[in-house]
Chain A
């Protein structure tokens, strides 16, 4: 189970790292090499985003990666097959991140079953609140996968409690308003927000949106359990290539 893996891993490390890729960007071969480098550098969890044409929660960098992957012909079935390949090869938990229409068109139960079969351990579906997700939650439960839910600074304490009832694995705490890839102010306000998240849920807390360097991660150590590096990984690869991944990640903690 994802939660126990994270808790066990936290006995050896002060904070875990979750990195993110958009599958098929810039190519499937590159995606594989990127993951290989991430695992070599000691990343603890990896988020595999299946590209979607309308990614409303993503900022310009991840949006462009979605578009370019789709323009190169990426299909959902290719992404599921790719997941099977990387889960067999690399010994870290992989999660799917995508938008609900991808599951809906594939067939929600079939999508979850095939993901479980390929070794995926959890999913983040940012446009599927639990109110709309009964079919998804049933399927995730049946196949013992972790549905990861999102906290935001705008989420009330009552709402946090409710989301905690549905979440498994960990809670994904969005650091601020807005979309992925913009700067975050790592300050007392973020401290207070994380304390609120901690009070609402027994699950480990991942903190994402705007995390990009060693300073950010040392700020989060002791406050969050997992730091999520999303957009910054794509920026790094766009600017400096796959070879830059290992030194970058090793420098982070």
Chain B
């Protein structure tokens, strides 16, 4: 990682001149905090008293018996406050905002988890808060919009472009270039211009640090493999970072949507459709046409439905350090259903992508191998999407009754 934020040939800071001073300031404050041992202690303290760190590493005994191969563990990021790993990044950036003396935060959100986490942090620290969310995602994730508004945030539906996550990021940048004096942009994933990929990874790396200690405590050795879903890549970088120099296989699972051959997916690294480009401030693999115009993406999981991917992951792919796979929408629903029944935990649709690949691999692995699946978030937020996927008749009847109550 050099000073300009390059990872191999990916990353950089392709920013409009207006943001130059703001990014310089952010980089300086981040560097100062990272070099201050008291800062990490302050961060861990807030994560253990306000969120639920360390989150448990749960042995999935029934799934292990079901597949008859490797011992399956689940890292429970769903037990963070607000129900996802997003809290790690958001609380960390919140501490930086306090140091910079800014009073307003803005963020993009896809699934709504990062938006809710940011709104929570803003409420706790007393910041004003604006969340940009693609109009399509507002519809998909309405309960999260409700919570963001209850938490005091203004939620602005983005009606331009493809009206999903990337468009929300563009709108957040447009706000930031207008209001950087008092406003910090809490980018939600390990993407965007330097220092965001490195900074978000730094805060999320607490996941892998804990996995390391918990695996040693439970099994007396490191895991053989770690699985994480990959949208922008923040939970994957968080789970992987501590193991980059260890003999641990790292597997990132992207959204295969309707299948990699269908063109309706969000798989930048596992499919042949991704190629290198520069947008949203950084260089990485994007889903784009030969002119460099970004394509529409598709996933059942709003949080994975993104056109780019962390430049750090692009580099790790090129170096062969991380293997990338894709899971289709249908496989995701099946894996989620099985996990709920067997273990009584409810992974988010995003996280369920990681379960798909782990379930494919587990039966063929030795019984004393340990695999860890990062359950990046909880699935109850997805109740509308999941109920539709299961075509649940009693849920539909309930919604109809509820609608009639409102009409009365």
Chain A interface residues toward B at CB < 8 A: 52-57, 59-60, 63-64, 67, 70, 75-76, 99-102, 104-106, 126-129, 131-132, 149-152, 154-156, 159, 163, 174, 177-179, 182
Contact = CB atoms under 8 A, between A and B. Distances in A.
A129 B20 contact: yes
A129 B20 CA distance: 9
Contacts of B15: 127, 129
A182 B18 CA distance: 15
Nearest to A100: B278
Interface stretch (B130-138, B290-298, B337-345, B347-355): B290-298
Contacts of A55: 170
Given A67-B161, A127-B14, A132-B14, A56 B291 contact: no
Given A54-B294, A101-B292, A106-B291, 17 more contacts: A52-B292, A53-B161, A54-B170, A56-B280, A57-B18, A59-B174, A75-B291, A100-B278, A101-B288, A105-B291, A106-B292, A131-B4, A154-B20, A154-B21, A177-B18, A177-B178, A178-B177
B13 interface: yes
A154 B16 CA distance: 12
Which residue, of B4, B12, B160, B292, has the highest number of chain A Cβ atoms within 10 A? B292
B157 to A, nearest CB: 14
Nearest to A209: B18
A18 B290 CA distance: 31
A57 B293 contact: no
Contact of A63 (B14, B160, B294): B160
Interface of B: 4, 12-18, 20-22, 160-161, 166, 170, 173-174, 177-181, 277-281, 288, 290-294
Contacts of A59: 174
Contacts of A156: 21
Which residue, of B18, B166, B281, B290, has the highest number of chain A Cβ atoms within 10 A? B18
A101 B277 contact: yes
Nearest to A59: B174
Nearest to A101: B292
Contact of B294 (A53, A150, A177): A53
B192 to A, nearest CB: 11
B13 A129 contact: yes
A60 B12 CA distance: 27
Contacts of A67: 160-161
Contacts of A151: 17
Contacts of B16: 56-57, 126-127, 150
B277 to A, nearest CB: 5
Contacts of B293: 52-53, 70
Contacts of B166: 54
B292 A102 contact: yes
Contacts of B291: 75-76, 102, 105-106
Which residue, of A52, A64, A100, A127, has the highest number of chain B Cβ atoms within 10 A? A127
Contacts of A131: 4, 13
Contact of A101 (B160, B178, B279): B279
A156 B367 CA distance: 62
Contacts of A177: 18, 177-181
A22 to B, nearest CB: 14
A42 B277 CA distance: 39
Pick the 6 closest A-B CB pairs, nearest first: A105-B292, A178-B178, A101-B292, A150-B17, A53-B293, A152-B18
19 contacts: A52-B293, A53-B293, A63-B160, A67-B160, A70-B293, A102-B291, A105-B288, A106-B292, A127-B14, A129-B14, A131-B13, A151-B17, A154-B18, A154-B21, A177-B178, A177-B179, A177-B181, A178-B174, A179-B177
